[in-house]
Structure 1
Protein backbone atom coordinates (compact mmCIF):
# COMPACT_ATOMS: atom_id res chain seq x y z
CA UNK A 1 0.00 0.00 0.00
CA UNK A 2 1.08 3.57 -0.71
CA UNK A 3 0.52 4.89 2.82
CA UNK A 4 1.43 8.48 1.93
CA UNK A 5 -1.16 8.52 -0.85
CA UNK A 6 -3.70 7.08 1.59
CA UNK A 7 -2.93 9.85 4.07
CA UNK A 8 -3.62 12.49 1.41
CA UNK A 9 -7.15 11.12 1.09
CA UNK A 10 -7.76 12.02 4.75
CA UNK A 11 -7.18 15.72 4.05
CA UNK A 12 -10.89 16.32 3.86
CA UNK A 13 -13.97 16.41 6.08
CA UNK A 14 -14.06 13.31 8.28
CA UNK A 15 -17.69 12.58 9.17
CA UNK A 16 -18.06 11.12 12.66
CA UNK A 17 -21.24 9.08 12.27
CA UNK A 18 -23.73 8.77 15.12
CA UNK A 19 -25.00 5.51 16.63
CA UNK A 20 -28.80 5.66 16.96
CA UNK A 21 -30.34 3.96 19.97
CA UNK A 22 -33.98 3.00 20.38
CA UNK A 23 -35.75 5.22 22.92
CA UNK A 24 -37.56 2.33 24.59
CA UNK A 25 -35.02 -0.51 24.59
CA UNK A 26 -31.71 1.32 24.29
CA UNK A 27 -30.66 -1.15 21.59
CA UNK A 28 -28.92 0.01 18.43
CA UNK A 29 -31.43 1.05 15.78
CA UNK A 30 -29.83 -0.58 12.74
CA UNK A 31 -32.30 0.92 10.29
CA UNK A 32 -31.46 4.33 11.75
CA UNK A 33 -27.76 3.61 11.30
CA UNK A 34 -28.36 2.76 7.66
CA UNK A 35 -30.29 5.98 7.03
CA UNK A 36 -27.56 8.05 8.73
CA UNK A 37 -24.77 6.50 6.65
CA UNK A 38 -26.72 6.91 3.42
CA UNK A 39 -27.41 10.55 4.32
CA UNK A 40 -23.68 11.18 4.83
CA UNK A 41 -22.71 9.45 1.58
CA UNK A 42 -25.28 11.28 -0.53
CA UNK A 43 -24.18 14.53 1.12
CA UNK A 44 -20.66 14.04 -0.21
CA UNK A 45 -18.74 12.60 2.75
CA UNK A 46 -15.43 11.10 1.60
CA UNK A 47 -14.37 9.70 4.99
CA UNK A 48 -16.74 8.15 7.53
CA UNK A 49 -15.61 7.31 11.06
CA UNK A 50 -17.87 4.88 12.94
CA UNK A 51 -17.19 4.30 16.64
CA UNK A 52 -15.92 7.83 17.23
CA UNK A 53 -16.79 9.85 20.30
CA UNK A 54 -19.82 11.42 18.60
CA UNK A 55 -20.76 7.82 17.81
CA UNK A 56 -20.69 7.09 21.57
CA UNK A 57 -17.90 4.54 21.26
CA UNK A 58 -17.53 4.20 25.01
CA UNK A 59 -21.24 3.39 25.38
CA UNK A 60 -20.93 0.37 23.09
CA UNK A 61 -20.09 -3.17 24.07
CA UNK A 62 -17.17 -4.67 22.16
CA UNK A 63 -19.53 -6.83 20.13
CA UNK A 64 -21.66 -3.80 19.30
CA UNK A 65 -18.58 -1.83 18.22
CA UNK A 66 -17.56 -4.66 15.93
CA UNK A 67 -21.04 -4.90 14.46
CA UNK A 68 -21.28 -1.14 13.90
CA UNK A 69 -17.98 -1.25 12.00
CA UNK A 70 -19.06 -4.28 9.96
CA UNK A 71 -22.40 -2.77 9.02
CA UNK A 72 -20.95 0.63 8.15
CA UNK A 73 -18.36 -0.99 5.85
CA UNK A 74 -21.14 -2.92 4.14
CA UNK A 75 -23.40 0.14 3.84
CA UNK A 76 -20.65 2.38 2.49
CA UNK A 77 -19.69 -0.30 -0.04
CA UNK A 78 -16.56 1.47 -1.25
CA UNK A 79 -18.21 4.86 -1.77
CA UNK A 80 -16.03 6.48 0.93
CA UNK A 81 -13.18 5.53 3.21
CA UNK A 82 -14.25 3.87 6.46
CA UNK A 83 -11.91 4.60 9.38
CA UNK A 84 -13.08 2.55 12.35
CA UNK A 85 -12.60 3.85 15.89
CA UNK A 86 -10.79 1.43 18.21
CA UNK A 87 -9.62 1.77 21.81
CA UNK A 88 -9.73 0.65 25.47
CA UNK A 89 -6.75 -1.52 26.46
CA UNK A 90 -4.08 -2.10 23.83
CA UNK A 91 -5.14 -5.73 23.51
CA UNK A 92 -8.80 -4.77 23.11
CA UNK A 93 -7.92 -2.12 20.53
CA UNK A 94 -5.90 -4.71 18.61
CA UNK A 95 -8.85 -7.11 18.72
CA UNK A 96 -11.17 -4.40 17.39
CA UNK A 97 -8.64 -3.32 14.78
CA UNK A 98 -8.04 -6.83 13.49
CA UNK A 99 -11.79 -7.32 13.28
CA UNK A 100 -12.11 -4.05 11.35
CA UNK A 101 -9.48 -5.30 8.90
CA UNK A 102 -11.37 -8.56 8.36
CA UNK A 103 -14.62 -6.62 7.91
CA UNK A 104 -13.06 -4.54 5.15
CA UNK A 105 -12.47 -1.19 6.86
CA UNK A 106 -9.94 1.04 5.15
CA UNK A 107 -8.19 2.17 8.31
CA UNK A 108 -8.50 2.68 12.06
CA UNK A 109 -8.58 5.67 14.36
CA UNK A 110 -6.90 4.85 17.66
CA UNK A 111 -8.63 6.58 20.55
CA UNK A 112 -6.28 8.03 23.14
CA UNK A 113 -6.03 5.78 26.22
CA UNK A 114 -8.68 6.46 28.87
CA UNK A 115 -6.52 5.12 31.69
CA UNK A 116 -6.43 7.63 34.60
CA UNK A 117 -2.64 7.32 34.86
CA UNK A 118 -0.83 7.96 31.63
CA UNK A 119 2.67 9.07 30.71
CA UNK A 120 4.09 10.17 27.37
CA UNK A 121 6.32 7.07 26.99
CA UNK A 122 3.37 4.90 28.02
CA UNK A 123 1.09 6.51 25.42
CA UNK A 124 3.75 6.04 22.75
CA UNK A 125 4.06 2.36 23.66
CA UNK A 126 0.26 2.00 23.53
CA UNK A 127 -0.06 3.46 20.06
CA UNK A 128 3.00 1.63 18.73
CA UNK A 129 1.75 -1.76 19.93
CA UNK A 130 -1.59 -1.25 18.20
CA UNK A 131 -0.06 0.04 14.96
CA UNK A 132 2.31 -2.91 14.81
CA UNK A 133 -0.46 -5.48 15.33
CA UNK A 134 -3.23 -4.03 13.14
CA UNK A 135 -2.50 -4.26 9.44
CA UNK A 136 -4.41 -1.15 8.47
CA UNK A 137 -3.44 2.52 8.11
CA UNK A 138 -3.75 4.18 11.52
CA UNK A 139 -4.86 7.65 12.57
CA UNK A 140 -3.78 8.68 16.07
CA UNK A 141 -6.35 10.57 18.12
CA UNK A 142 -4.65 13.05 20.48
CA UNK A 143 -6.75 14.99 22.99
CA UNK A 144 -4.92 14.91 26.34
CA UNK A 145 -2.75 18.01 26.65
CA UNK A 146 -0.71 16.33 29.39
CA UNK A 147 0.73 13.88 26.85
CA UNK A 148 3.62 15.45 24.95
CA UNK A 149 3.54 15.67 21.18
CA UNK A 150 7.02 14.16 21.33
CA UNK A 151 5.29 10.80 20.89
CA UNK A 152 4.78 11.76 17.24
CA UNK A 153 8.52 12.00 16.68
CA UNK A 154 8.62 8.30 17.55
CA UNK A 155 5.42 7.17 15.82
CA UNK A 156 5.21 9.27 12.66
CA UNK A 157 8.04 7.38 10.91
CA UNK A 158 6.01 4.15 11.09
CA UNK A 159 4.59 3.37 7.65
CA UNK A 160 1.10 2.58 8.92
CA UNK A 161 0.90 5.83 10.90
CA UNK A 162 -0.83 7.97 8.26
CA UNK A 163 -2.61 10.73 10.18
CA UNK A 164 -3.20 12.58 13.42
CA UNK A 165 -6.58 13.73 14.65
CA UNK A 166 -5.38 16.62 16.81
CA UNK A 167 -7.96 17.69 19.41
CA UNK A 168 -5.83 19.87 21.69
CA UNK A 169 -6.84 23.48 21.09
CA UNK A 170 -3.35 24.90 21.56
CA UNK A 171 -2.48 26.37 18.18
CA UNK A 172 1.14 27.37 18.88
CA UNK A 173 1.77 23.86 20.16
CA UNK A 174 0.13 22.32 17.11
CA UNK A 175 1.99 24.56 14.67
CA UNK A 176 5.31 23.73 16.33
CA UNK A 177 4.55 20.00 16.11
CA UNK A 178 3.64 20.20 12.41
CA UNK A 179 6.87 22.09 11.70
CA UNK A 180 8.95 19.64 13.73
CA UNK A 181 7.90 16.55 11.75
CA UNK A 182 9.61 16.02 8.39
CA UNK A 183 7.19 16.41 5.47
CA UNK A 184 8.44 13.14 3.97
CA UNK A 185 6.56 11.23 6.68
CA UNK A 186 3.37 12.21 4.84
CA UNK A 187 1.26 12.67 7.98
CA UNK A 188 -2.30 13.90 7.38
CA UNK A 189 -3.03 16.59 9.96
CA UNK A 190 -6.71 16.66 10.92
CA UNK A 191 -8.32 19.25 13.17
CA UNK A 192 -10.14 17.11 15.73
CA UNK A 193 -12.35 19.85 17.14
CA UNK A 194 -14.65 20.43 14.18
CA UNK A 195 -15.88 23.55 12.39
CA UNK A 196 -15.34 25.89 15.34
CA UNK A 197 -11.59 25.37 15.18
CA UNK A 198 -11.06 24.25 11.59
CA UNK A 199 -10.08 27.69 10.16
CA UNK A 200 -7.50 28.25 12.88
CA UNK A 201 -5.99 24.79 12.49
CA UNK A 202 -5.96 25.21 8.72
CA UNK A 203 -3.68 28.23 9.10
CA UNK A 204 -1.41 26.15 11.35
CA UNK A 205 -1.14 23.21 8.95
CA UNK A 206 -4.23 20.97 9.23
CA UNK A 207 -5.81 20.14 5.89
CA UNK A 208 -8.75 18.16 7.16
CA UNK A 209 -11.24 18.40 10.01
CA UNK A 210 -13.68 16.14 11.81
CA UNK A 211 -17.36 16.97 11.94
CA UNK A 212 -20.45 15.97 13.88
CA UNK A 213 -22.40 18.89 12.39
CA UNK A 214 -22.27 17.12 9.01
CA UNK A 215 -24.89 14.69 10.35
CA UNK A 216 -27.27 17.65 10.63
CA UNK A 217 -26.30 20.34 8.11
CA UNK A 218 -23.89 18.80 5.61
CA UNK A 219 -24.19 21.72 3.19
CA UNK A 220 -22.64 24.04 5.80
CA UNK A 221 -19.82 21.64 6.66
CA UNK A 222 -18.99 20.86 3.03
CA UNK A 223 -19.07 24.54 2.11
CA UNK A 224 -16.52 25.28 4.83
CA UNK A 225 -14.25 22.54 3.51
CA UNK A 226 -14.38 23.97 -0.01
CA UNK A 227 -13.89 27.54 1.19
CA UNK A 228 -10.83 26.50 3.20
CA UNK A 229 -9.38 24.68 0.23
CA UNK A 230 -9.94 27.73 -1.95
CA UNK A 231 -8.70 30.08 0.78
CA UNK A 232 -11.88 32.12 0.36
CA UNK A 233 -11.54 33.74 3.75
CA UNK A 234 -14.57 36.00 3.73
CA UNK A 235 -16.69 32.94 2.95
CA UNK A 236 -14.87 30.84 5.56
CA UNK A 237 -15.66 33.35 8.30
CA UNK A 238 -19.27 33.73 7.18
CA UNK A 239 -19.68 29.94 7.44
CA UNK A 240 -17.85 29.95 10.76
CA UNK A 241 -20.40 32.47 12.07
CA UNK A 242 -23.16 30.12 10.92
CA UNK A 243 -21.64 27.07 12.60
CA UNK A 244 -20.44 28.69 15.82
CA UNK A 245 -23.73 28.79 17.82
CA UNK A 246 -24.29 25.07 17.16
CA UNK A 247 -20.73 24.20 18.17
CA UNK A 248 -20.93 26.40 21.27
CA UNK A 249 -24.10 24.61 22.33
CA UNK A 250 -22.30 21.29 21.89
CA UNK A 251 -19.45 22.59 24.06
CA UNK A 252 -21.68 23.39 27.06
CA UNK A 253 -21.20 21.50 30.33
CA UNK A 254 -17.56 20.71 29.50
CA UNK A 255 -18.70 19.31 26.13
CA UNK A 256 -21.32 17.13 27.81
CA UNK A 257 -23.74 18.31 25.11
CA UNK A 258 -21.48 17.12 22.29
CA UNK A 259 -23.52 14.14 21.16
CA UNK A 260 -27.02 14.97 22.30
CA UNK A 261 -27.12 18.31 20.45
CA UNK A 262 -26.34 16.47 17.21
CA UNK A 263 -28.96 13.80 17.90
CA UNK A 264 -31.63 16.26 19.01
CA UNK A 265 -31.03 18.42 15.92
CA UNK A 266 -31.35 15.37 13.68
CA UNK A 267 -34.60 14.37 15.34
CA UNK A 268 -35.97 17.91 15.04
CA UNK A 269 -35.24 17.75 11.31
CA UNK A 270 -36.85 14.35 10.82
CA UNK A 271 -33.57 12.45 10.58
CA UNK A 272 -33.23 9.27 12.63
CA UNK A 273 -30.83 9.59 15.57
CA UNK A 274 -32.67 8.15 18.54
CA UNK A 275 -31.60 8.67 22.11
CA UNK A 276 -28.22 8.59 23.84
CA UNK A 277 -26.95 6.11 26.39
CA UNK A 278 -25.66 6.77 29.88
CA UNK A 279 -23.77 8.83 30.93
CA UNK A 280 -25.40 11.24 28.45
CA UNK A 281 -28.96 12.37 29.14
CA UNK A 282 -31.49 14.12 26.86
CA UNK A 283 -31.10 17.82 26.16
CA UNK A 284 -32.78 20.12 28.69
CA UNK A 285 -35.67 22.32 27.57
CA UNK A 286 -33.69 25.57 27.50
CA UNK A 287 -31.04 24.05 25.25
CA UNK A 288 -33.72 22.47 23.04
CA UNK A 289 -35.23 25.91 22.44
CA UNK A 290 -31.83 27.37 21.63
CA UNK A 291 -31.17 24.52 19.21
CA UNK A 292 -34.50 25.14 17.48
CA UNK A 293 -33.57 28.81 17.03
CA UNK A 294 -30.25 27.82 15.45
CA UNK A 295 -31.96 25.43 13.03
CA UNK A 296 -34.50 28.09 12.06
CA UNK A 297 -31.74 30.64 11.51
CA UNK A 298 -30.14 28.22 9.07
CA UNK A 299 -33.41 28.26 7.13
CA UNK A 300 -34.03 24.60 7.87
CA UNK A 301 -37.46 23.40 8.88
CA UNK A 302 -37.87 21.64 12.20
CA UNK A 303 -40.73 19.18 12.63
Structure 2
Protein backbone atom coordinates (compact mmCIF):
# COMPACT_ATOMS: atom_id res chain seq x y z
CA UNK A 1 0.00 0.00 0.00
CA UNK A 2 1.01 3.63 -0.33
CA UNK A 3 4.35 4.28 1.38
CA UNK A 4 6.86 7.11 1.67
CA UNK A 5 7.85 8.71 -1.67
CA UNK A 6 11.51 7.72 -1.31
CA UNK A 7 10.55 4.10 -0.71
CA UNK A 8 8.15 4.13 -3.66
CA UNK A 9 10.79 5.58 -5.98
CA UNK A 10 13.28 2.94 -4.89
CA UNK A 11 10.76 0.16 -5.46
CA UNK A 12 9.84 1.55 -8.87
CA UNK A 13 13.49 1.81 -9.88
CA UNK A 14 14.14 -1.76 -8.78
CA UNK A 15 11.01 -2.98 -10.56
CA UNK A 16 11.95 -1.24 -13.80
CA UNK A 17 15.28 -3.04 -13.74
CA UNK A 18 13.72 -6.43 -13.06
CA UNK A 19 10.78 -6.61 -15.48
CA UNK A 20 8.41 -4.86 -17.83
CA UNK A 21 5.75 -2.51 -16.48
CA UNK A 22 2.23 -3.94 -16.60
CA UNK A 23 -0.69 -1.79 -17.71
CA UNK A 24 -3.68 -4.06 -17.06
CA UNK A 25 -6.88 -3.95 -19.04
CA UNK A 26 -10.11 -3.14 -17.20
CA UNK A 27 -12.69 -5.94 -17.31
CA UNK A 28 -16.24 -5.23 -18.47
CA UNK A 29 -19.27 -7.47 -18.76
CA UNK A 30 -20.84 -7.92 -22.24
CA UNK A 31 -23.34 -5.16 -21.36
CA UNK A 32 -20.45 -2.78 -20.64
CA UNK A 33 -20.73 -2.74 -16.85
CA UNK A 34 -17.63 -3.17 -14.71
CA UNK A 35 -16.67 -6.80 -14.05
CA UNK A 36 -14.90 -6.54 -10.70
CA UNK A 37 -14.29 -10.25 -10.18
CA UNK A 38 -13.16 -10.69 -13.77
CA UNK A 39 -10.68 -7.88 -13.22
CA UNK A 40 -9.47 -9.49 -10.01
CA UNK A 41 -8.82 -12.77 -11.80
CA UNK A 42 -7.12 -11.01 -14.69
CA UNK A 43 -4.86 -8.89 -12.47
CA UNK A 44 -3.82 -11.96 -10.48
CA UNK A 45 -2.63 -13.48 -13.75
CA UNK A 46 -0.72 -10.34 -14.65
CA UNK A 47 1.01 -10.33 -11.27
CA UNK A 48 1.89 -14.02 -11.54
CA UNK A 49 4.02 -13.13 -14.57
CA UNK A 50 6.24 -10.94 -12.39
CA UNK A 51 6.01 -7.39 -13.78
CA UNK A 52 8.14 -4.60 -12.35
CA UNK A 53 5.08 -2.55 -11.36
CA UNK A 54 1.33 -2.44 -11.95
CA UNK A 55 -0.37 0.59 -13.56
CA UNK A 56 -4.18 0.14 -13.30
CA UNK A 57 -6.74 2.53 -14.78
CA UNK A 58 -4.35 4.11 -17.26
CA UNK A 59 -4.69 4.36 -21.04
CA UNK A 60 -4.77 0.61 -21.69
CA UNK A 61 -7.15 0.31 -18.74
CA UNK A 62 -9.59 2.79 -20.35
CA UNK A 63 -9.29 5.38 -17.58
CA UNK A 64 -11.13 7.83 -19.83
CA UNK A 65 -14.29 5.71 -19.70
CA UNK A 66 -14.41 4.95 -15.96
CA UNK A 67 -16.83 6.56 -13.54
CA UNK A 68 -15.30 7.61 -10.23
CA UNK A 69 -16.76 4.69 -8.28
CA UNK A 70 -15.60 2.24 -10.93
CA UNK A 71 -12.14 3.77 -10.76
CA UNK A 72 -12.14 3.32 -6.99
CA UNK A 73 -12.96 -0.37 -7.36
CA UNK A 74 -10.34 -0.96 -10.05
CA UNK A 75 -7.54 0.64 -8.03
CA UNK A 76 -8.61 -1.08 -4.81
CA UNK A 77 -8.61 -4.52 -6.47
CA UNK A 78 -5.18 -3.88 -7.99
CA UNK A 79 -3.80 -2.90 -4.58
CA UNK A 80 -5.38 -5.90 -2.88
CA UNK A 81 -4.07 -8.36 -5.45
CA UNK A 82 -0.59 -6.81 -5.50
CA UNK A 83 -0.41 -7.15 -1.73
CA UNK A 84 2.70 -4.97 -1.59
CA UNK A 85 4.69 -7.24 -3.92
CA UNK A 86 5.03 -4.54 -6.60
CA UNK A 87 4.22 -0.83 -6.64
CA UNK A 88 0.73 0.12 -7.83
CA UNK A 89 0.63 3.33 -9.87
CA UNK A 90 -2.89 4.53 -10.70
CA UNK A 91 -3.74 6.75 -13.65
CA UNK A 92 -5.24 10.23 -13.16
CA UNK A 93 -6.02 12.82 -15.78
CA UNK A 94 -8.13 15.58 -17.34
CA UNK A 95 -7.59 19.02 -15.76
CA UNK A 96 -5.81 19.30 -12.42
CA UNK A 97 -9.03 19.71 -10.42
CA UNK A 98 -10.46 16.46 -11.78
CA UNK A 99 -7.10 14.74 -11.52
CA UNK A 100 -6.90 15.77 -7.87
CA UNK A 101 -10.29 14.22 -7.19
CA UNK A 102 -9.21 10.92 -8.72
CA UNK A 103 -5.91 11.21 -6.85
CA UNK A 104 -7.78 11.30 -3.55
CA UNK A 105 -9.68 8.19 -4.54
CA UNK A 106 -6.47 6.40 -5.53
CA UNK A 107 -4.78 7.38 -2.28
CA UNK A 108 -7.74 6.13 -0.24
CA UNK A 109 -7.62 2.85 -2.20
CA UNK A 110 -3.95 2.36 -1.27
CA UNK A 111 -2.11 3.24 -4.49
CA UNK A 112 1.62 3.88 -4.19
CA UNK A 113 1.90 6.58 -6.86
CA UNK A 114 0.07 8.27 -9.74
CA UNK A 115 0.66 8.44 -13.49
CA UNK A 116 -0.53 11.85 -14.70
CA UNK A 117 -2.10 11.27 -18.11
CA UNK A 118 -2.09 14.10 -20.68
CA UNK A 119 -4.72 16.74 -19.94
CA UNK A 120 -7.89 16.88 -21.96
CA UNK A 121 -8.41 18.60 -25.34
CA UNK A 122 -6.56 21.93 -25.23
CA UNK A 123 -2.98 22.70 -26.16
CA UNK A 124 -1.03 24.59 -23.51
CA UNK A 125 2.24 26.50 -23.20
CA UNK A 126 5.14 25.19 -21.15
CA UNK A 127 4.25 27.36 -18.13
CA UNK A 128 0.79 25.81 -18.12
CA UNK A 129 2.13 22.26 -18.33
CA UNK A 130 4.34 22.95 -15.33
CA UNK A 131 1.49 24.61 -13.42
CA UNK A 132 -0.76 21.59 -14.06
CA UNK A 133 1.68 19.39 -12.14
CA UNK A 134 2.23 22.01 -9.45
CA UNK A 135 -1.50 22.21 -8.78
CA UNK A 136 -1.89 18.45 -8.61
CA UNK A 137 1.23 17.89 -6.49
CA UNK A 138 -0.10 20.40 -3.94
CA UNK A 139 -3.24 18.28 -3.54
CA UNK A 140 -1.86 14.77 -3.08
CA UNK A 141 0.80 13.12 -0.98
CA UNK A 142 1.40 10.44 -3.61
CA UNK A 143 4.44 10.59 -5.91
CA UNK A 144 3.63 11.70 -9.46
CA UNK A 145 4.97 10.42 -12.77
CA UNK A 146 4.27 12.81 -15.62
CA UNK A 147 3.27 11.35 -18.99
CA UNK A 148 4.20 13.27 -22.10
CA UNK A 149 2.23 12.29 -25.15
CA UNK A 150 -0.11 14.00 -27.59
CA UNK A 151 -0.35 17.69 -26.72
CA UNK A 152 1.99 17.35 -23.72
CA UNK A 153 5.69 17.65 -24.58
CA UNK A 154 8.15 19.16 -22.11
CA UNK A 155 11.23 21.16 -22.99
CA UNK A 156 14.46 20.51 -21.12
CA UNK A 157 13.91 23.72 -19.16
CA UNK A 158 10.40 22.63 -18.16
CA UNK A 159 11.63 19.17 -17.21
CA UNK A 160 14.13 20.76 -14.83
CA UNK A 161 11.27 22.77 -13.32
CA UNK A 162 8.87 19.84 -12.86
CA UNK A 163 11.66 17.74 -11.35
CA UNK A 164 11.91 20.36 -8.60
CA UNK A 165 8.20 20.08 -7.74
CA UNK A 166 7.94 18.11 -4.48
CA UNK A 167 6.47 14.72 -5.28
CA UNK A 168 7.17 14.64 -9.03
CA UNK A 169 9.51 11.66 -9.40
CA UNK A 170 9.54 10.62 -13.05
CA UNK A 171 8.48 10.87 -16.65
CA UNK A 172 6.86 8.41 -19.04
CA UNK A 173 7.64 9.29 -22.65
CA UNK A 174 5.25 8.51 -25.48
CA UNK A 175 6.67 10.78 -28.20
CA UNK A 176 9.65 8.67 -29.28
CA UNK A 177 11.63 11.80 -30.11
CA UNK A 178 15.02 10.57 -28.94
CA UNK A 179 16.80 13.87 -29.53
CA UNK A 180 14.30 15.62 -27.26
CA UNK A 181 14.33 12.79 -24.75
CA UNK A 182 18.12 12.87 -24.48
CA UNK A 183 17.91 16.57 -23.65
CA UNK A 184 15.32 15.80 -20.96
CA UNK A 185 17.42 13.10 -19.32
CA UNK A 186 20.41 15.46 -19.22
CA UNK A 187 18.28 18.18 -17.60
CA UNK A 188 16.93 15.86 -14.91
CA UNK A 189 18.47 15.43 -11.47
CA UNK A 190 20.08 12.15 -10.43
CA UNK A 191 17.50 9.54 -9.52
CA UNK A 192 14.67 10.97 -11.63
CA UNK A 193 12.79 8.08 -13.24
CA UNK A 194 12.30 7.74 -16.98
CA UNK A 195 10.59 5.01 -18.94
CA UNK A 196 9.59 4.30 -22.51
CA UNK A 197 5.83 4.52 -22.94
CA UNK A 198 5.63 4.46 -26.72
CA UNK A 199 2.84 2.38 -28.24
CA UNK A 200 4.20 -1.18 -28.50
CA UNK A 201 7.31 0.01 -26.69
CA UNK A 202 9.39 -3.04 -27.57
CA UNK A 203 9.75 -1.76 -31.15
CA UNK A 204 11.86 1.12 -29.88
CA UNK A 205 13.28 -0.39 -26.69
CA UNK A 206 16.84 -0.67 -28.01
CA UNK A 207 16.80 2.89 -29.28
CA UNK A 208 15.48 4.24 -25.95
CA UNK A 209 18.20 2.36 -24.08
CA UNK A 210 20.87 4.21 -26.09
CA UNK A 211 19.77 7.52 -24.51
CA UNK A 212 19.71 6.05 -21.02
CA UNK A 213 16.07 4.93 -20.82
CA UNK A 214 16.05 1.12 -20.76
CA UNK A 215 12.79 0.66 -18.79
CA UNK A 216 9.52 0.34 -20.68
CA UNK A 217 5.85 -0.45 -20.41
CA UNK A 218 4.47 -3.38 -22.40
CA UNK A 219 1.00 -3.63 -23.90
CA UNK A 220 1.90 -7.16 -25.02
CA UNK A 221 2.29 -8.13 -21.36
CA UNK A 222 -1.44 -7.43 -21.03
CA UNK A 223 -2.27 -10.46 -23.18
CA UNK A 224 0.93 -12.47 -23.70
CA UNK A 225 3.34 -12.04 -20.79
CA UNK A 226 5.28 -15.05 -22.11
CA UNK A 227 6.22 -13.07 -25.22
CA UNK A 228 6.85 -9.82 -23.32
CA UNK A 229 9.07 -11.56 -20.77
CA UNK A 230 11.02 -13.46 -23.44
CA UNK A 231 11.70 -10.20 -25.27
CA UNK A 232 12.74 -8.45 -22.04
CA UNK A 233 15.12 -11.27 -21.12
CA UNK A 234 16.64 -11.35 -24.59
CA UNK A 235 17.08 -7.59 -24.68
CA UNK A 236 18.70 -7.40 -21.25
CA UNK A 237 20.82 -10.45 -21.98
CA UNK A 238 22.17 -9.12 -25.27
CA UNK A 239 20.55 -11.92 -27.28
CA UNK A 240 20.16 -9.86 -30.44
CA UNK A 241 19.13 -12.81 -32.60
CA UNK A 242 16.09 -13.49 -30.40
CA UNK A 243 15.25 -9.80 -30.18
CA UNK A 244 15.39 -9.47 -33.96
CA UNK A 245 13.30 -12.60 -34.51
CA UNK A 246 10.59 -11.48 -32.11
CA UNK A 247 10.55 -8.01 -33.65
CA UNK A 248 10.46 -9.31 -37.21
CA UNK A 249 7.95 -12.12 -36.76
CA UNK A 250 5.67 -10.76 -34.06
CA UNK A 251 6.04 -7.15 -32.95
CA UNK A 252 6.30 -5.46 -36.36
CA UNK A 253 3.28 -7.36 -37.80
CA UNK A 254 1.38 -6.54 -34.60
CA UNK A 255 2.07 -2.83 -35.07
CA UNK A 256 0.98 -3.03 -38.71
CA UNK A 257 -2.30 -4.61 -37.61
CA UNK A 258 -2.69 -2.12 -34.76
CA UNK A 259 -2.30 0.83 -37.10
CA UNK A 260 -5.23 -0.20 -39.32
CA UNK A 261 -7.89 1.37 -37.10
CA UNK A 262 -7.78 4.23 -34.55
CA UNK A 263 -8.11 2.85 -31.03
CA UNK A 264 -6.69 -0.57 -31.85
CA UNK A 265 -3.81 0.19 -29.45
CA UNK A 266 -6.33 -0.73 -26.74
CA UNK A 267 -9.09 -2.74 -28.43
CA UNK A 268 -6.69 -5.08 -30.24
CA UNK A 269 -4.89 -5.76 -26.96
CA UNK A 270 -8.19 -6.52 -25.27
CA UNK A 271 -9.26 -8.80 -28.11
CA UNK A 272 -5.98 -10.70 -27.82
CA UNK A 273 -6.58 -11.17 -24.09
CA UNK A 274 -10.06 -12.54 -24.84
CA UNK A 275 -8.56 -14.97 -27.37
CA UNK A 276 -6.51 -16.34 -24.50
CA UNK A 277 -9.54 -16.75 -22.29
CA UNK A 278 -8.85 -13.77 -20.03
CA UNK A 279 -12.02 -12.29 -18.46
CA UNK A 280 -11.62 -8.76 -19.79
CA UNK A 281 -14.75 -8.38 -21.92
CA UNK A 282 -15.30 -5.72 -24.61
CA UNK A 283 -14.04 -2.16 -24.88
CA UNK A 284 -16.28 0.76 -24.11
CA UNK A 285 -17.24 3.43 -26.64
CA UNK A 286 -15.75 5.42 -28.25
CA UNK A 287 -13.45 2.42 -28.84
CA UNK A 288 -14.71 -0.47 -30.95
CA UNK A 289 -13.77 -4.13 -30.94
CA UNK A 290 -11.81 -5.47 -33.95
CA UNK A 291 -13.60 -6.58 -37.10
CA UNK A 292 -13.93 -10.34 -37.75
CA UNK A 293 -11.18 -10.15 -40.39
CA UNK A 294 -8.79 -8.33 -38.08
CA UNK A 295 -9.64 -10.69 -35.25
CA UNK A 296 -8.74 -13.65 -37.44
CA UNK A 297 -5.44 -11.99 -38.38
CA UNK A 298 -4.78 -11.32 -34.70
CA UNK A 299 -5.40 -14.95 -33.79
CA UNK A 300 -2.92 -16.12 -36.45
CA UNK A 301 -0.29 -13.62 -35.31
CA UNK A 302 -0.78 -14.38 -31.62
CA UNK A 303 -0.45 -18.12 -32.24
CA UNK A 304 2.78 -17.53 -34.18
CA UNK A 305 4.16 -15.27 -31.46
CA UNK A 306 3.45 -17.77 -28.72
CA UNK A 307 5.05 -20.51 -30.81
CA UNK A 308 8.23 -18.44 -30.98
CA UNK A 309 8.57 -18.57 -27.18
CA UNK A 310 7.33 -22.11 -26.69
CA UNK A 311 3.86 -21.20 -25.41
CA UNK A 312 0.37 -21.89 -26.76
CA UNK A 313 -2.88 -20.04 -27.24
> Hey, what's the Cα distance between the residues in 2 that align with 1:146 and 1:49?
20
Deviation at 1:111, TM superposition (A): 0.6
Q: Is the 8 A contact 2:100 2:136 kept in 1?
A: yes
Show CA shifts across 1:140-168 (max 9, x none): 11103663324211111234222111000
Q: Is the 8 A contact 1:266 1:273 kept in 2?
A: yes
Show CA shifts across 1:13-59 (max 9, x none): 11110011111x21011121011111111111121101111101101
Q: Indicate whether 1:28 and 2:34 are aligned.
A: yes
> Hey, what's the Cα distance between the residues in 2 that align with 1:217 and 1:223?
10
> Hey, what's the Cα distance between the residues in 2 that align with 1:301 and 1:208?
27
Cα 1:87–1:171, aligned 2, differ >3 Å: closer, same or farther? same
Equivalence for 1:210:
217
Deviation at 1:135, TM superposition (A): 0.6
Q: Indicate whether 1:173 and 2:173 are aligned.
A: no
- 1:217-256 matches, within 5 Å, as 217-241=224-248, 242-254=250-262, 256=263
Q: TM-score, normalised by structure 1?
A: 0.91
Equivalence for 2:196:
191
- 1:247-266 matches, within 5 Å, as 247-254=255-262, 256-266=263-273
Three-state SS of the structure 1 residue aligned to 2:29 is: coil
> Hey, what's the Cα distance between the residues in 1 that align with 2:167 and 2:177?
26
> Hey, what's the Cα distance between the residues in 1 that align with 2:71 and 2:152?
28
Q: Is the 8 A contact 2:88 2:111 kept in 1?
A: yes
Q: Indicate whether 1:79 and 2:118 are aligned.
A: no
Give the count of matched residue pairs.
Answer: 298
Show CA shifts across 1:48-83 (max 9, x none): 101111101101112211221112111221121100
Show CA shifts across 1:172-231 (max 9, x none): 21122212323x2x1111100122222221222212111121021102212222333334
Deviation at 1:10, TM superposition (A): 5.0
Give the counterpart of 1:140 among 128, 139, 146.
Answer: 146
Give the counterpart of 1:119 among 113, 125, 139.
Answer: 125
Bigger shift: residues 187-196 or 141-150: 141-150
Cα 1:203–1:145, aligned 2, differ >3 Å: closer, same or farther? farther
Q: TM-score, normalised by structure 2?
A: 0.89
Q: Indicate whether 1:66 and 2:72 are aligned.
A: yes
> Hey, what's the Cα distance between the residues in 2 that align with 1:180 and 1:225?
28
Give the counterpart of 2:13 among 3, 8, 27.
Answer: 8
Cα 1:5–1:80, aligned 2, differ >3 Å: closer, same or farther? closer
Equivalence for 1:284:
291
Deviation at 1:115, TM superposition (A): 3.0
Instruction: Return 5+ residue gaps in structure 1 as ranges.
Output: none
Instruction: Return 5+ residue gaps in structure 2 as ranges.
Output: none
Deviation at 1:249, TM superposition (A): 2.2
Q: Is the 8 A contact 1:7 1:162 kept in 2?
A: no
Give the counterpart of 2:62 among 44, 56, 59.
Answer: 56
> Hey, what's the Cα distance between the residues in 2 that align with 1:10 and 1:127?
24
